[in-house]
Amino acid sequence: MQKTWFVLTLLLCCALTLSAVGCGSEASSSTVIVQTTSPTSLSSRWIDAHAHLDPGASVDGLSGADLLVSRMDEAGIDKVVLWNLRGISVSADVAEAYRSYADRIIPFRGDDGLDVNDPASLDLIAADLDTGIFRGLGEIVTRHGNRETYIPVDHPVMLGLFQLAAEHGIPVCVHMDTTSLSESEPADEEEWLAGFERALDQCSSTTFIWTHCGIGPSPDVVRRMLDRHPNLYGDLSARNPVWANMREVSPELLSIDTPEWIDLLNDRPSRFLFGTDAYGDVTYAGYPDIVAWFEERIVPQLSRKAAEAITRGNAERLILFPAGT
């Protein structure tokens, strides 16, 4: 009799367990799991090394720097390197935003006012750098495939600008693509990169940050450039499908979620900086999603050393606390 009750009890327990499991599975299929966008997996909050000030961007009653900082809070980002947006804002606007958020914004002096046909235009930029407000130069656009801007990186006025950065002990962020949308001036990757290398050599005391690591170069080309030039670094802004879809750009052209890119990031962790390239309503509003993609897709594939360096350490070393300051 005791044996019979034992068997019945055991069968009842199994039935209850299976029922509970079934209920649990059904609940899981109908429950929405909300993933956090705050990058809390690393020991320090991140620094975004590439964003533009867009005073006209407006979402949920917030605009401009107020909107951007609110999205940084949502994403768990500590600080942002901020510069002007061509045709929309100027460096004076960036300085004003910095005064409102001095603990969150790292202001850069843009290329507004620069005229490559007038070397004297460098005096205006030098005067702004002398104020001590700006922590770098950027984004200095030379070759930009999407905007049909084609200025040789080693143009004499550009070289003078890069020398200004060295004299003030600040980095310069350069946009230099190897793609072109212009039929009148098709891309010549070999020659364009050669011009970039001449600038890197002639301005060897200047710290260069290659925005987006260029649009077009393969990971092997980027690796070669970094190995040849110890004063060259790369930011990873815009290089993700979330940003690409927001800006209606081919994700395949920009994504770094490939074995070749991941190997490069792990092999050269001191040479890359995280960035978003946020500007406009869409990317300001979607800012947390850009950060979340990098945390969920890229960070797990990096060594802890690489992840810490790319998301904060390199920006601190090159921008916030450069050697000699």
Q: If you average pLDDT over every residue of the chain, what do you get?
A: 85
Please tell me the least confidently modeled range out of 108-112, 135-139, 189-193, 199-203: 189-193
Closest CA to 87 of 129, 149, 133, 143: 149
CA-nearest of 236, 145, 163 to 200 is: 163
pLDDT level of residue 16 (50, 70, 90 thresholds): very low
Residue 13: predicted pLDDT: 39
Bigger pLDDT: 3 vs 240: 240
pLDDT at 25: 32
Give the mean pLDDT of 257-278: 97
How far out from the chain centre does Cα 196 lie?
Answer: 21
- What pLDDT, on the 0 to 100 scale, is given for residue 325? 54
pLDDT at 27 over 50: no
pLDDT of res. 36: 33
Q: Please, are residues 197 and 229 in contact by the beta-carbon 8 Å criterion?
A: yes
Quick check: 242 pLDDT over 70?
yes
Strands of the sheet with 272-273, listed across from one edge:
149-150, 137-144, 172-176, 208-210, 232-235, 272-273
Neighbour tally for 323: CB within 10 Å: 8
Q: What is the largest CA-CA distance in the chain?
A: 105
In this predicted structure, the answer to whether residue 77 has a pLDDT above a threshold of 90 is: yes
Q: Of 47-56, 148-157, 170-179, 196-205, which range is least confident?
A: 148-157
Question: Is residue 146's pLDDT more than 80?
Answer: no
In the prediction, which pLDDT does 63 show? Answer: 96
| C-alpha–C-alpha distance, residues 259 and 111, integer Å | 35
Q: How is domain 47-320 classified at the CATH fold level?
A: TIM Barrel (3.20.20)
Spatial contact of 167 and 44, defined as CB atoms under 8 Å apart: no
DSSP string, 76-91: TEEEEEEE--TTT--H
pLDDT in tens, 291-324: 999 999 999 999 999 999 999 999 999 999 987 5
**Phi and psi dihedrals of 59, rounded to 5?**
-145, 130
* 76: its two tokens: 């768990």
pLDDT tens digits for range 171-226: 999 999 887 655 566 667 888 899 999 999 999 999 999 999 998 889 999 999 99
Task: Determine the 3-state secondary structure of 152 from DSSP.
Answer: coil
What's residue 180's pLDDT? 62
